A and B are shown apart, each in its own frame.
Chain A
Amino acid sequence: MNTARSTEEIALGIRRRVFEHVMKNNGGYLSQACSAAEQLAWLYNEGLKLGAPTLPMIPTPFEGVPSAGHKTYRTGAGYNGPIAPDLDRLFIAPAHYALVAYATLIEVGRMSPKGLAMFNQDGSSVEMIGAEHSPGMEVHNGTLGLGLSTAAGLAYGRRRLGDSGQTWVFMSDGEVQEGQTWEAVQAASFHHIDQLCAIMDVNEQQCDGAMSSVMEVRDIRQKFITFGAVCVEVDGHDLEAIRQAAAEPHEGRPLIILARTNPYHAMSILEERFPRLHYVRFKSEEERARMNLSIAKELGVEPIKY
């Protein structure tokens, strides 16, 4: 463990934080915490080899975009520690999972809880759709499909440099509808980029609703294998299964872990909103209060005062 806490505790902590935030703000990316908490907790607490953070625990305000004149520009990668040959890198490919990723940074002691209060506030770097200057981010991934390609290029470059560190991508299953994802897998396989690993939150949800109703993607495990990756499918809420999947040999090929998840895991009342779970905004005060009570009970906390 990279922290003194268990990964289960961290996953629970992520859900509690995201739940509190969504309750107070009357909406947010709540379902993503249901599906992805174990994956992000596992990455930060076990999977990734990271150094100590290099940026302030309380995020600084937005300091401007990259330009020739902006000499002090930096990304948010420092929350994942320094960049070094033996350390791992992580891209959050679906940048709308940022709220869950920020909650993870807090749970693993890399960002102050005050950072979450800055979420989506004007002038803040803790942006709703994670930008490269946002805590824990290193590149822009706001359009889906960019992450795996960029990571493949980085991993290839790092291999040339003799780095031992891995390049990891947290992905979402909606991204497999993008052609770029398949271009990235075929290129990573063709160039034998085996320092590239991805874990994908397969919650079968996308903005319009259930993926099967928006665009069928069929057997994505078989597709990844056919495109040349090593692909393992596990229960995304089973940490032992994720650990075993990460140990899967994949010499000469990228590793893609499909984490099959439940979009209302540990918040079962959200099933009422299925299949519109991409962004949960409460429809009435009655619903908000009811969900507050139910989810708080399930997560073992007091109802949120909002």
Chain B
Amino acid sequence: MIEMVSRPYATAFERFAVDRPKVLCLSADLTSSCEIDGFRDRHPEQFLSLGMAEQNMMSFAGGLALAGFRPFIHTFGVFMYRRPYDQLVASIAYPRRQVRLMGFLPGVTTPGGMTHQSIEDISVMRSIPNMTILETGDATEVESICEAADSIDGPVWCRVLRGSVPRLFDTPIKVGEMRELSEGSDVLVVTSGICTEEALRARSALLSAGLSIRHLHLHTIKPFNAEALLDHLNAVRYGVVTLENHVTEGGIGSLVAETIADAGIGKRLVRLGLRDTYAHGGSRGYLMRYYGLDALALVRGIERLVGAEFGISESDLDAARVEAVHSLVKAEGL
């Protein structure tokens, strides 16, 4: 049974920030939604409310960093790049300010629909010079995201999970590395964020079908160790399947495609994720099924890659984690 951790960011951020006076906690009216309400109440001198005014917040954070502080901006990821994109680039990314952009509700982890779902943020951030990109896939990564982000001399974009988060790993994020979750020789599976849990759900069924899976989990998306990925690509027979909580353009699927093309190796690639589409509002489980981001979608993708059907159905996959949209952890669910 997977351990579920309640509000890991709340605990982790407070523990991290409390002894670091140069760390400032910035919020844009989503304080409890980003699990920093307790921090605000206990450490008001280190907390800045900047209201629903993200354009100012980005440049203001740039100014704080110019003064030598390390602002941690907390809001939904989508609100940190779509509207204030110019400020993000001019005031934070270009001058390499040590601003930590803690983006909550990555991809389809919100029922809030198009306006709340950051589905192309990785694509955008990858194309911004000086930006580092980290993504959390479990409670341990959420617990270590603050230290990881704060180790970077420059701006860092983080996809942060909140609420009840499964613990999949027992070691913290080591920036620049990738996690090797299995070392098979037939198919390489590359996942990040919440999709890694999906791939783990499919693991035993794929094993029973006689398939040897090599599985990588990416918490560091930029910078990226292409050499390490190439070693894994060269170690598998059929090719690679990527699964991401993001559009398939510009995310880790593209990252793998670019690595293959740059190296001139001939490996087949199946990219799974949101396929040039927006999502709508709904529960995470529903959305992952509807848009093909879940364990079953991964199985079908692997079948496509190897040109065979394994007869795996939903009932063969490890029990899905049932999570009510409106839980006790976060009443509104947004």
Contact = CB atoms under 8 A, between A and B. Distances in A.
Contact of A156 (B64, B68, B94): B64
Contacts, number: 108
Nearest to B54: A183
A140 B48 CA distance: 24
A157 B59 contact: no
A20 interface: no
B271 interface: no
Contacts of A183: 51, 53, 55-57
Interface string A137-173: 0111011011001111111111011000000000000
A71 to B, nearest CB: 11
A306 interface: no
A139 B51 contact: no
A66 B98 CA distance: 13
Given A66-B96, A68-B153, A143-B90, A156 B55 contact: no
A151 B55 CA distance: 14
B10 to A, nearest CB: 24
Given A150-B60, A150-B62, A140 B53 contact: no
Q: Is the interface of A mostly helix, strand, loop or mixed?
A: helix
Contacts of A180: 55-56, 59, 87
Nearest to B84: A180
Interface in B20-71: 48-51, 53, 55-69
A67 interface: yes
B108 to A, nearest CB: 30
B63 A157 contact: yes
Contact of A157 (B50, B57, B68, B153): B68
A190 interface: yes
Nearest to B59: A149
Q: Which residue among B53, B63, B64, B90 has the maximum number of chain A CB atoms within 10 Å of its CB?
A: B63
A187 B66 contact: no
Given A142-B90, A146-B91, A156 B60 contact: yes
Indicate the size class of the contact surface on chain B. Answer: 20 to 34
A73 to B, nearest CB: 8
Contacts of B48: 156, 191
B129 interface: yes
Contacts of A80: none
Indicate the size class of the contact surface on chain A. Answer: 20 to 34
A199 interface: no
Interface string B84-120: 0011001100111000000000000000000000000
A68 B64 CA distance: 20
Contacts of B67: 153-154, 156-158, 160-161
Nearest to A143: B86
B220 interface: no
29 contacts: A66-B130, A67-B129, A67-B130, A132-B94, A132-B95, A138-B66, A139-B62, A139-B91, A149-B56, A149-B58, A149-B59, A149-B62, A149-B63, A150-B91, A151-B63, A152-B56, A152-B60, A152-B63, A153-B59, A153-B61, A153-B66, A154-B63, A154-B64, A157-B69, A158-B67, A180-B87, A183-B53, A184-B59, A187-B50
Given A153-B59, A153-B63, 20 more contacts: A68-B153, A139-B62, A139-B95, A140-B90, A146-B59, A146-B86, A149-B62, A149-B87, A150-B62, A150-B66, A154-B64, A155-B63, A156-B48, A156-B60, A157-B63, A157-B67, A180-B59, A183-B55, A184-B59, A190-B51
Interface of A: 65-68, 75, 132, 138-140, 142-143, 145-146, 149-158, 160-161, 179-180, 183-184, 186-187, 190-191
